[in-house]
Structures are given as structure tokens and as C-alpha cells.
Structure 1
């Protein structure tokens, strides 16, 4: 069997990212100017790759991040299973110190292995993993799609990487992410291997100040 190459990216920057506002599956935000620039830089760097299919979530920030490839006529599918985790009552709100404390407690709960616990009014990692399974099955059932591009969201991407690489979900925070970062994986028919980890080299051309630096807020969007 030939190797399936998977290019997995997080969406570009939105105003919600800059303003530290929680945007989960219930917030359908658009890319801001910097996010559009990031998408353009990624496209210019990888437009030579012969993608057989582009997969995205149903949210417009993920679709806009790969629009250059869609304009080339590459087949495209949206899947709700790739949507961001539902952050419940905190979606659309600016993070306060009190909410940060609650958020850190939830993250610690998940890191302790209690990934069945839902954030207030929202989803748990277990629920996100369950809805991702049908998407994974669809992708793996199509050997004719040898090279694919997937665009999705930070927390959901961490969960997906755990599933593809057979890590327990409590380890998901080991997978870092930035706006428009790339994970490149190869699938041999029995297992995935990581070729590139949170790669942002394509964004380093005329790079603007990084408004989505690592930290508490970066992890929740």
C-alpha cells in the first residue's frame, strides 16, 4: 500500500484570537487580515503539493484558511466532526481571571485522565473524539486519496492527533498549536508517523508581530 500523506493545519488568526474571546463550535468567526495573510503564505508555500482532497470543519474560519486550494478546484468536503470543541457557556465571552481559573481546573481534570468531564454547558474530549471517528474512518477508507489537506481547530486538532497517533486523550496538551501551524503525518496502512510538528516556517516571510503567542488563551480557541 502506498503511503497516505496528511497535511493537518489549524485555521488562521481571527479577531476573537486577538481579543482573547472564546470561540468554539458555536462561534462561526471569520479570519482577520492577519489570518488572511497567514492563509496566503501557507498557500504560496504548499500550492505545489498535489492534494487529492481538502477536508475542513463546517466553520468558515477553517474554510477561509484553505480557500486558495479550493480556488484551484481541489475537491472539498466539510465535516461537523472536525468542528472545534463546544466550550459551552464561555463561548463568545472574553476570558476573565475567574474563568481562567475554571478553565485551568478543567484542563487539569482532563490531564488527570477524566476526559469524560464536560466543560460547563459544552463538550468533553471524549465526546469530540467520538464525533471525529466517522471522519477518520472516511479518510482511511479512501486509499485513492494519497495526499490530503485537513484544516480544523486547536483543541479538536489535539484530540484528533491523539486518536491518529494512539495517545490517550489525557496527553492532548503535548501537541502544541499556533494559528496556521502544520502537522504533517504519513500513514502506512497500519500506523501514523509525524513528519512535521507544529511547523510555522511558512509564516516567517515578512512576519507581523505574533498576536497569538503561546499561553492560556491560545489553548482555548
Structure 2
């Protein structure tokens, strides 16, 4: 039997909005960007960002966090234009795909890519593409940000905009899953994971939420 623990009376659960950036031309073309390709949103991505803003512009965000890459900044630019506090952290950058960044790689055509992804799912999360990062390395550079986030108790409602693979790693860490479970956290452009943090644990309230993209911007 599962029992929901009640929070102490003086503890209020914090709300974390974890957002993937909007669409880029590279996304459409199936070209990996990683941390080394600093692309901008395309017209669809900008429309997605406007739809998200329209749905959540009244949310009292205490802080906006983004990666150091422009596609995350552009995805939340309308919130930044409101003057909300903002910090960019390179620890939130996408995984590095090494020499493959800027190229089209698919499971069907690229044996090394297929082998690395299969290795991750099998638990070999130290594997990496040539010149790139492993999930373990991404997790390690995310940990200082996670500790910073946990420590800022005054930030009750937070928006974090980052990247697909890095978001999968982040969710595994926040929810105490092994990194080999990454593929269980699906993502799409401008999708939202909404989490609550009680001071001791994170729980998912909204999983792969794209309802904001169903309404006109």
C-alpha cells in the first residue's frame, strides 16, 4: 500500500517547470546540435515559444534558468522581456555529440550511434560518440546546478529551459532513476515536465505536457 507523506506545516512544495527548447531547422532536418551547434529557433519554434508564453505568462516565476545556448534563451525570451530574474548555466547545455555535431545521424545509417545508444540502455552510461560526452559526464556537470536549485528555497516557482538529451539525464537524477532509464523520458520541442520538490524529493506532476501547443499564440 502506497502512503503519501504529508509535508510539515511550515514546508511548501516548490514547483519546477522543466521545458525543452522550441524547434530549430536542425530538428526538422534530423541533424544533431549538441552543445557545439548554437542554433536559433525557426518560425515554428518561435510560435511554440509564443504559445507557451500565452499559456503561462501569469505564472509567478521567481527565476528563469536556461542553458548557455541561444535556442533556450529564445524559447523563454518573452518571460525575460518581463524583467524576470534569469541565470544561464553551461551545466544545462545539451550533451556533446563530438565530431557528429552538425551532421545527420540515424539509427538506420550509423552503426556507432546505434551501438552507443544501445549501450546506454544496457547500463554502459560511460560510453560516448567520438569526441563527445557520456551521460555520466553530463550528469556530473549538472550536479552543481541541481545542488544550487535545491538550496534556493526562496524560489518557489522556477522555469528551467534546456535540451532533450540533457533533460533526460536531469530527470533521471532528480527522480533517482539510473541513467540507463533515460529513454523512458520522452521529449518533443517545447514540451513541459512539471515537478514538485518538497525539500527531500522531486515528483512529476505533468509528464510530456504539450497542451499549451494546442491553442493559438
TM-score range, shorter chain: over 0.9
Counterparts in 2 of 1:118-129, with a 5 A limit?
Answer: 118-129=128-139
What residue number does 2:213 align with? Answer: 203
Q: 1:12 aligns with which of 7, 16, 22?
A: 22
Hey, what does 1:92 align to over in structure 2? 102
Matched, 1:157 2:189: no
Deviation at 1:143, TM superposition (A): 0.3
Alignment coverage as a number of residue pairs: 206
Counterpart Cα distance in 2 of 1:116 and 1:21: 23
Larger Rg: 2
8 Å contact from structure 2 (residues 193, 209) kept in 1: yes
1:86-135 Cα distance to aligned partner (Å, 9 max, x none): 00111001236432x32221111001101011221100000000000000
Q: For the residues of structure 2 that align with 1:44 and 1:166, how far apart are their CA atoms?
A: 32
Distance 1:29 1:199 in 2: 24
TM-score by length of 1: 0.91
Q: Secondary structure at the match of 1:136?
A: helix
**Alignment partners' CA distance in 2, 1:19 and 1:206:** 25
CA drift of 1:206 comes to: 4.6
What is the distance in 2 between the residues matched to 1:163 and 1:190? 13
Tell me, what secondary structure is at the counterpart of 1:98?
Answer: coil
Structure 1 unmatched ranges of 5 or more: 208-221
Which whole-Å CA distance do the structure 2 matches of 1:126 and 1:106 have between them? 13
Instruction: Please give the TM-score of this superposition, normalised by the length of structure 2.
Output: 0.93
User: CA deviation digits over 1:133-186, x for unaligned, max 9?
Assistant: 000011111100000000000000000000000000000100000000000000
The aligned runs of 1:14-33 (5 Å cut-off) are 14-33=24-43
Secondary structure at the counterpart of residue 117 of structure 2: helix
Two-structure CA RMSD over aligned residues (Å): 1.1
- Specify the alignment match of 1:44 in structure 2: 54
